Chain A
């Protein structure tokens, strides 16, 4: 796609990425990623470590130049580095990005001015953000004296001080304690629900994604695997219910032969030396047959857990259980 070619931007889409590709040497970090984020929705970008989420975000916000593909935000191309786009997007990077030698207030006002927000208005917004994110008492403290969780919240506030229409948060809950997580989650949700902002965020935290997002995209090895609402993904990919069954063989872990036997008998099941995970609709009806199979293979059933599939089940079903890093 040439730079001069107009980019289609579907109505109702706040962010539209088309065929994004990025390679670092021999590593393909992002491979033809296309997605649309609708105006006013909270969109989660999920994937294991090294899946290409941060690289994708970098390209979508103009920090990284894609090898191929384009992104438009609110109809404006991102790669042109247009000031109009910059003013309407707020980005909170994965790591804590603050100025340690400035106070919370000073850096928020500075960030506002960096987006041409008049000083007085920037100061008012800074105060609001500090209150909303529980940092009001630390208003005049140097950022380097704050705890890690407070610094993370300040880092998020810096992405919001210019009142962007589209907010991109790269793992905003990393390093936060449960109280802070809830605070940030509720504030981010209020931005979309109450003020019509569009939120795109990446996370490893499936619980967070499940609670907050309208839609999620699951990426792995730079490719988009699934994109839908959490409910639809649970039904479609998660199979509705999940059975987790702990198994042993003569009091020990399962042999290779038993694992093979279970995999052949239960297609789609994730089997390892300690048990199996099976996702199916109405799996409770299959449970007697599965327990019978276990007995026939000479295995002993341990703890049985039968529950509705979660987004984590969907995630693991799509990306596997093996460690990536």
Chain B
């Protein structure tokens, strides 16, 4: 009854704080659209700058062979499992020009076809003789280079097998994990953004409670029969609703920009709702140390940044393994509940795995969310709801 009254009151206040509500509901969809624009709904495009020094050669039947140009075409035609072409070939006249493009970030990888490429295919050099070198170049620390290089090497390998008439003793077969084969990079990037929608709830939680403290209404509630449970349950319920609405809006924006979920939406919502409780816990902790709404807003940015960047919601974060527990590798950022939420969302909505395949993430999310929420409630009660 009292919790319901607090819920009604908090909901009214939330609905009347339009700028904050608009921010909460629109920021994640905005980023979804932004990602779609930046990545393109069809997936990533890796730029390969290509320098073709090949002079060509004549085949035995007298026909000309332009293997360099053919290889460039083969690289451009590489398809991923979704059927889209992830490589864009950008020609360059000289090595220096191509290198400059690589250094300026205009290309992810450089492929340099040697002068005698066609000749080597027509008449392969004898064993022991020097061979023309087809050179790959790129920033070894860049994942974009690695992806571009692997795709280009696959194309080169396939072309050489066909052109040289060589048959490898084994066939190389790539199999996608879950539904990842048909996924674009955008599809894989978006589930993390749904968790980001929930992370923003740090602000309304911290600001609402800081406002109650600043205006003295928290004291008024302390004097009434409203318990800590009533207050925090009513407030949390509002945030769960707002969070769910934000996730649904982000999802709708994602679908509108071409996102195809591989798992059921309800499972994603469930993960986000559980994550909401951890975010509410963080919001409570922020409120404990905020004497005003402004302080809550400023302080709230620190945990938001931490959650946003180190849980991989905005950009993929490599899992830095700390130790292994049975079959589970525990990473550096696994103490963040949202890390598990993002990972679970990627697995469920991104590549269509079932609950059994993300048991570690789900259990960790559940336990960590409970721990964060409990810590927030405990400290808030101690610092703000007990008699001074």
Question: Are A and B co-members of a single complex?
Answer: yes
Q: Residues on A close to B: CB < 8 A?
A: 58, 61-65, 79, 81, 83, 86-87, 89, 91, 93, 95, 97-102, 106-107, 110-111, 113-116, 142, 158, 162
Closest approach, in angstroms, between the C-beta of B220 and any C-beta of chain A?
5
Residues in B whose Cβ lies below 8 Å from that of A91: 220, 223
Q: Is B95's beta carbon under 8 Å from chain A?
A: no
Least CB separation from B216: chain A residue: A97
Closest approach, in angstroms, between the C-beta of A3 and any C-beta of chain B?
14
Docked Cα-Cα span, A110 to B11, in Å, equals 12
Residues in A whose Cβ lies below 8 Å from that of B221: 114
| A95 lies within 8 A of B224 (CB) | no
Docked Cα-Cα span, A89 to B388, in Å, equals 19
Residues in B whose Cβ lies below 8 Å from that of A111: 220, 224
| B220 lies within 8 A of A113 (CB) | no
Residues in A whose Cβ lies below 8 Å from that of B2: 113-114, 116
| B216 lies within 8 A of A86 (CB) | no
**In the complex, which of the residues B9, B16, B222, B225 contacts A87, with contact meaning CB atoms closer than 8 Å?**
B225
| B12 lies within 8 A of A102 (CB) | yes
Residues in B whose Cβ lies below 8 Å from that of A87: 225
Q: Is B1's beta carbon under 8 Å from chain A?
A: yes
Docked Cα-Cα span, A87 to B225, in Å, equals 7
The interface bits of chain B over 1-21 (1 if a CB of A lies within 8 angstroms of the residue's CB, else 0) are 110011011001100110000
Docked Cα-Cα span, A86 to B226, in Å, equals 10
Q: Is B106's beta carbon under 8 Å from chain A?
A: no
Q: Is B157's beta carbon under 8 Å from chain A?
A: no
The interface bits of chain B over 202-228 (1 if a CB of A lies within 8 angstroms of the residue's CB, else 0) are 000000000000011101111111100
Q: Is B387's beta carbon under 8 Å from chain A?
A: yes
| B215 lies within 8 A of A97 (CB) | yes
**In the complex, which of the residues B5, B13, B226, B388 contacts A99, with contact meaning CB atoms closer than 8 Å?**
B13
Docked Cα-Cα span, A81 to B220, in Å, equals 14
Closest approach, in angstroms, between the C-beta of B101 and any C-beta of chain A?
56
Docked Cα-Cα span, A198 to B48, in Å, equals 85
The 10 closest A-B pairs by CB, nearest first: A113-B5, A114-B224, A97-B216, A65-B387, A101-B16, A101-B13, A114-B226, A110-B9, A91-B223, A97-B220
List 9 contacting pairs A-B, 8 Å CB cutoff, sorted by A: A63-B223, A65-B388, A95-B216, A97-B215, A97-B216, A98-B215, A102-B13, A107-B9, A158-B220
Docked Cα-Cα span, A101 to B12, in Å, equals 8
| B217 lies within 8 A of A113 (CB) | no
Given contacts A97-B217, A97-B220, A110-B8, 19 further A-B contacts (CB under 8 A): A62-B387, A63-B219, A63-B222, A63-B387, A64-B387, A81-B387, A86-B225, A91-B223, A95-B216, A98-B217, A100-B215, A101-B16, A102-B9, A106-B9, A110-B5, A113-B1, A113-B5, A114-B226, A115-B224
Q: Residues on B close to A: CB < 8 A?
A: 1-2, 5-6, 8-9, 12-13, 16-17, 215-217, 219-226, 387-388
| A89 lies within 8 A of B223 (CB) | yes
| B224 lies within 8 A of A97 (CB) | no
Residues in A whose Cβ lies below 8 Å from that of B215: 97-100
Residues in B whose Cβ lies below 8 Å from that of A64: 387-388
Residues in B whose Cβ lies below 8 Å from that of A81: 387
| A62 lies within 8 A of B223 (CB) | yes
Least CB separation from A119: chain B residue: B5
| A114 lies within 8 A of B12 (CB) | no
Residues in A whose Cβ lies below 8 Å from that of B224: 86, 111, 114-115, 162
Residues in A whose Cβ lies below 8 Å from that of B388: 58, 63-65
Least CB separation from B16: chain A residue: A101
Residues in A whose Cβ lies below 8 Å from that of B222: 63
With A113-B1, A113-B2, A116-B1 as known contacts, state yes or no: A97 contacts B219, CB within 8 Å.
Answer: yes
**In the complex, which of the residues B5, B6, B17, B223 contacts A101, with contact meaning CB atoms closer than 8 Å?**
B17
Docked Cα-Cα span, A110 to B222, in Å, equals 14
Closest approach, in angstroms, between the C-beta of A100 and any C-beta of chain B?
7
Closest approach, in angstroms, between the C-beta of B203 and any C-beta of chain A?
16
Closest approach, in angstroms, between the C-beta of A95 and any C-beta of chain B?
6
Closest approach, in angstroms, between the C-beta of A52 and any C-beta of chain B?
15
Closest approach, in angstroms, between the C-beta of B209 and any C-beta of chain A?
13
Docked Cα-Cα span, A102 to B211, in Å, equals 14
Residues in A whose Cβ lies below 8 Å from that of B217: 97-99
Residues in A whose Cβ lies below 8 Å from that of B216: 93, 95, 97
Least CB separation from A64: chain B residue: B388
Residues in B whose Cβ lies below 8 Å from that of A101: 12-13, 16-17
Residues in A whose Cβ lies below 8 Å from that of B6: 114
**In the complex, which of the residues B1, B5, B16, B220 contacts A142, with contact meaning CB atoms closer than 8 Å?**
B16
Docked Cα-Cα span, A113 to B6, in Å, equals 9
Residues in B whose Cβ lies below 8 Å from that of A114: 2, 5-6, 221, 224-226
With A65-B388, A114-B224 as known contacts, state yes or no: A106 contacts B219, CB within 8 Å.
Answer: no
Docked Cα-Cα span, A107 to B220, in Å, equals 12
Least CB separation from B15: chain A residue: A101
Least CB separation from B14: chain A residue: A101
Residues in B whose Cβ lies below 8 Å from that of A61: 223
Least CB separation from A142: chain B residue: B16
Residues in A whose Cβ lies below 8 Å from that of B387: 62-65, 79, 81
Least CB separation from A24: chain B residue: B388
Residues in B whose Cβ lies below 8 Å from that of A99: 9, 13, 215, 217
Closest approach, in angstroms, between the C-beta of A23 and any C-beta of chain B?
12
Least CB separation from B223: chain A residue: A91
| B9 lies within 8 A of A93 (CB) | no
Closest approach, in angstroms, between the C-beta of A148 and any C-beta of chain B?
14
Closest approach, in angstroms, between the C-beta of A242 and any C-beta of chain B?
39
Closest approach, in angstroms, between the C-beta of A67 and any C-beta of chain B?
11
Residues in B whose Cβ lies below 8 Å from that of A107: 9
Closest approach, in angstroms, between the C-beta of A121 and any C-beta of chain B?
13
Closest approach, in angstroms, between the C-beta of B225 and any C-beta of chain A?
5
Residues in B whose Cβ lies below 8 Å from that of A89: 223
Residues in B whose Cβ lies below 8 Å from that of A142: 16
With A95-B216, A97-B215, A102-B9 as known contacts, state yes or no: A116 contacts B223, CB within 8 Å.
Answer: no
Docked Cα-Cα span, A98 to B216, in Å, equals 8
Docked Cα-Cα span, A65 to B387, in Å, equals 6
Least CB separation from A94: chain B residue: B216
Closest approach, in angstroms, between the C-beta of B287 and any C-beta of chain A?
17
Least CB separation from B230: chain A residue: A114
Which of A64, A97, A100 has the most chain B CB atoms inside 10 A of its CB? A97
Closest approach, in angstroms, between the C-beta of B228 and any C-beta of chain A?
11
Residues in B whose Cβ lies below 8 Å from that of A110: 5, 8-9
